[in-house]
Amino acid sequence: MTDRYCVFGNPIKHSKSPLIHGEFARQTQQPMTYTAVLAPEDGFTDAWRAFVAGGGRGANVTVPFKGDAFALCDTLSYRAKRAQAVNTLIVGGNGRTYGDTTDGIGLVRDLAYHRVPLAGKRVLVLGAGGAVRGILEPLLAEKPSEVVVANRTVAKAEQLAEAFVDLGRIYGGGFASVKGPFDVVINGTSASLSGELPPLPETLFGEGAWAYDMMYGAEPTVFLQWAGPRGAKLLDGLGMLVEQAAESFFAWRNVRPETASVRTLLRQSLNY
């Protein structure tokens, strides 16, 4: 019996998830298929139910459906409840839907893979949308000295920080109030997609600091292009994509795949 999995999104044609999970399945010899499914913007729940009715065992969920996935779940993981979003769906033995989010753990594991220290460090997170909300609980679990959330809409950053203040030292504010230096700066805005850059001070990066963009591409993002000449070491979100996928795969199959070779494969695929 071959088990069926997929990723839901809109758009979805660009997704690298089938490549990643196909490689994980080959590597671990798991009897499964993994495809990309374009769901209607107003029809995600019906698409999920149809997939399950056809024998689907689980799925990843990407933009714009992570909130819809959160709403349809019968049971949620702790980190999904904190993130208020779901990117991993699992069909339980009783037919009930379990939801998890692996984005934050994917980020933290990618930073660990590159030996980026977080404990005791000052971390700046740019943006206050769903992508940022999904990473804050695992990020704070690494015990940074403080996390500052900066956003164009100040109130949104303040509200987000308040929602996580029980987990550690976290503050929210506007870009104008950002005071460096920081040890790690994470761009969680969508600015890289539009080629824009948040208004940031020149003195953002401390000595040996890292700049991390949750987006990735064949070329460095506009944020990384800006950060490099200002002394930061650079990382994009490709490794985060692979690591969050590995965590989803483990949740489905109870087998943890090796990720280093898949990182290399995915990086190479961007050049074609």
Q: Where is the binding site for NADP(+), in residues?
A: 127-131, 151-156, 214, 237
Q: What is the pLDDT of residue 195?
A: 76
Output the known binding site.
Answer: 15-17, 62, 87, 103, 127-131, 151-156, 214, 216, 237, 244
- For 87-121, the pLDDT digits (tens) are 999 999 888 999 999 999 999 999 999 999 999 99
Alpha carbon 234 to chain centroid distance?
A: 17
pTM of the model: 0.94
Q: Which residues contact 201 (CB under 8 A, 6 or more apart)?
A: 178, 179, 180
* CATH number of the 104-236 domain: 3.40.50.720
213/235 Cα distance (integer angstroms): 6
35-93: per-residue pLDDT in tens?
999 999 999 999 999 999 999 999 999 989 999 999 999 999 999 999 999 999 999 98
Q: How far apart are CA 122 and CA 185, in angstroms?
A: 9
Query: What residues form the annotated binding site for shikimate?
Result: 15-17, 62, 87, 103, 216, 244
- Point out the residues that are catalytic: 66
pLDDT confidence of residue 272: 59
Query: Residue type for 16, please?
Result: K
> Would the CATH topology of 3-101+239-270 be identical to that of 104-236?
yes
Strand runs labelled E in 140-204: 146-150, 170-173, 182-187
What is the domain class of 3-101+239-270 according to CATH?
alpha beta
**What are the tens digits of pLDDT across the range 144-160?**
999 999 999 999 999 99
Q: Which residues contact 194 (CB under 8 A, 6 or more apart)?
A: none
Residue type, 68: D
In 3-state terms, what secondary structure has residue 228? helix
* Residues with Cβ within 8 Å of residue 3, at least 6 apart in sequence: 30, 31, 32, 33, 55, 57
Domain assignments of the chain as residue spans, ordered by start: 3-101+239-270, 104-236
E strands present in the chain: 3-9, 32-38, 56-61, 75-76, 88-91, 97-100, 122-126, 146-150, 170-173, 182-187, 205-213, 233-235
